Amino acid sequence: MDAVPFISNNPTVEDCWRGVVLYGRNTASYKFALASALLDMRPVAGQLIKLEDLAPHFAKQIARHLVESPKQITTSKGKFIDACLAFNQDQNLNSLVDATVAHGFTNVIDAFHVVGSGPVLHKFFEDERRANKGIRITDEFTKLAEGIQSPNFAQEVESRWRLVEMAWNLGIAVNLLNVKHDHVAGEIFTFDKGARRKTVTSSRAALNGYQKGKCFYCYADLSLVGEAMNVDVDHFFPHKLKQHAGINVDGIWNLVLSCNSCNRGTNGKFDRIPSVNLLQKLHTRNEYLIGSHHPLRETLMAQTGLTVSKRITFLDSTYKRVQLNPGFAWEPVEKVS
Ligand SMILES: [Zn+2]
C-alpha cells in the first residue's frame, strides 16, 4: 500500500483550501477564523477587502470561540486576544476593530497559504497590506465559492477548529488524546480530565474534508447541508461484527462517509464486507487523518498502530479474520472516476 499525498502535484482549488484548513500548522486558531470570515463575507474575484472591513468578521469568530474554549493560542495571549475577551464583555465593536487592525493579522495573512514547507499552489487572496491596507481576492477563491462543494466548507472549518481547540483546552498530553464516535447522535466526543463527556463536533463535518467531499465508495459529491444532504456515517467493517473477537468497529479508523445510495440504496452495501480494493482506500483515508495534527492523528494511531507498516498489518489481519467468503465482497457502482 503506497502513500498517496492529500495535495497532489496538480491539486484542485478545493484540495488547496482543505490543505490549509486540515493540514496547516496552527499555533493559534487564526487561520480558521480567517477562513470562516472569507466564507462568511463571500467576496468576489478582484475585490479589495480592507483590513478594517475584514476585522469584525475575523475577530468575532475568535471572540465566539473564546466563550467556550479559552485557549485559542498556544503562546502568550497578547493584545489581540485581550481585545476579543474585552469585546465579549462590553460589545464595543470599534475597539475590537482597532485592536484587530493593529495586532490581529500580523502572522495569519502571511501564514494562511503555507502547508508543510511552502504555500499551496492556488492562493485565495493576495497580500496588499503595504499598498492598499488590505487583501485582494483571487479568481481561485471565486472558483472555490462557486463550486459544488462550497456549501460544506463552513462546517468543515468549524469542525476542524473545534477539534484543534479541544486538544488545546483539555490540558492532557497530546499522545493521550482520543476521540470517540456516537453513532446515534452523529457526533465525535471525548472525555475531559474529570472524566466528563464533552461533545466536540459533528462527525460528518469532521470527516468530509479528508474524503475530499466525496462518497468513500462511489465518489458521488457529498452534501452536509440542506435538502441535498446525502451523507451517512458508515462502518467499513459492518456493525454486525461488533461482537466479533475484539474488533473495534466504532473506532474512527472504521468510519467512512458514504452517500445514502451506497450505504442503503438498491445494490447498497448494508452489512456486507467491502472488497479488498476498498481496503486500500481505507488505508489511504486513515493516513490522511493521521497526516493532520491532533487529535485525530493520535486517535487513529492508538487504534491502528504507530507506524505505517503496523497499520497496514492491522487492516490486513482484520480483513482476513472477517472475510470468510471473498466472492461475496461488496463493490460500489462508481458514479465519477
Ligand atoms: Zn456512494
Q: How confident is the model at residue 325 (pLDDT cuts 50, 70, 90)?
A: low
Distance separating alpha carbons of residues 219 and 27, to the nearest angstrom: 34
Which pLDDT belongs to residue 299?
92
Distance separating alpha carbons of residues 256 and 164, to the nearest angstrom: 20
Distance separating alpha carbons of residues 134 and 100, to the nearest angstrom: 13
Average pLDDT of every residue of the chain? 92
Expressed in angstroms and rounded, the spacing between residue 56 Cα and the centre of ligand 1 is: 40
Expressed in angstroms and rounded, the spacing between residue 12 Cα and the centre of ligand 1 is: 21
Q: Which amino acid is at 227?
A: E
Of residues 167 and 18, more confidence is placed in 18
Expressed in angstroms and rounded, the spacing between residue 229 Cα and the centre of ligand 1 is: 13
Q: Which amino acid is at 314?
A: F
Residue 73, classed as helix, strand or coil, is strand
Mean pLDDT of 84-110: 97
Expressed in angstroms and rounded, the spacing between residue 239 Cα and the centre of ligand 1 is: 18
Beta bridge partners of 73: 28
**Predicted TM-score (pTM) of this structure:** 0.94
- Flag whether pLDDT at 66 surpasses 90: yes
Q: Is 67 exposed, middle or buried (0-12, 13-18, 19+ CB in 10 A)?
A: exposed
* Radius of gyration of the CA atoms of the chain, in A: 21
List of residues 6+ apart from 295 with CB closer than 8 A = 163, 164, 166, 167, 174, 177, 178, 179, 190
Distance separating alpha carbons of residues 257 and 94, to the nearest angstrom: 43
Expressed in angstroms and rounded, the spacing between residue 204 Cα and the centre of ligand 1 is: 15
Expressed in angstroms and rounded, the spacing between residue 228 Cα and the centre of ligand 1 is: 14
Distance separating alpha carbons of residues 235 and 233, to the nearest angstrom: 7
First to last CA, the chain: 20
Expressed in angstroms and rounded, the spacing between residue 232 Cα and the centre of ligand 1 is: 10
Expressed in angstroms and rounded, the spacing between residue 323 Cα and the centre of ligand 1 is: 22
Mean pLDDT of 55-82: 95
Beta bridge partners of 199: 189
* Nearest Cα residue to 283 out of 236, 228, 225: 236
Domain limits, the chain: 13-146, 155-328
Residue 275, classed as helix, strand or coil, is coil
Expressed in angstroms and rounded, the spacing between residue 216 Cα and the centre of ligand 1 is: 7
Expressed in angstroms and rounded, the spacing between residue 32 Cα and the centre of ligand 1 is: 29
Expressed in angstroms and rounded, the spacing between residue 307 Cα and the centre of ligand 1 is: 30
Of residues 25 and 132, more confidence is placed in 132
Q: Model confidence over 32-59: pLDDT tens digits? A: 999 999 999 999 999 999 999 999 999 9
Expressed in angstroms and rounded, the spacing between residue 233 Cα and the centre of ligand 1 is: 12
Q: For 82, what's the count of Cα atoms within 13 Å in the CB-facing half-sphere?
A: 8
Nine-digit cell at 184?
A: 446515534
Q: Is 320 exposed, middle or buried (0-12, 13-18, 19+ CB in 10 A)?
A: exposed
Q: How confident is the model at residue 67 (pLDDT cuts 50, 70, 90)?
A: very high
Q: Model confidence over 158-211: pLDDT tens digits? A: 999 999 999 999 877 777 788 999 999 999 999 888 888 999 999 999 999 999
Q: For 168, what's the count of Cα atoms within 13 Å in the CB-facing half-sphere?
A: 21
Expressed in angstroms and rounded, the spacing between residue 259 Cα and the centre of ligand 1 is: 4
Expressed in angstroms and rounded, the spacing between residue 262 Cα and the centre of ligand 1 is: 4
Q: Is 100 exposed, middle or buried (0-12, 13-18, 19+ CB in 10 A)?
A: buried
Distance separating alpha carbons of residues 210 and 206, to the nearest angstrom: 8
Expressed in angstroms and rounded, the spacing between residue 127 Cα and the centre of ligand 1 is: 40
Q: Model confidence over 137-153: pLDDT tens digits? A: 999 999 999 999 999 99
Q: Which residue has the cell 467493517?
A: 237
The backbone torsions φ and ψ at residue 276, rounded to the nearest 5 degrees and listed phi first, read -65, -25
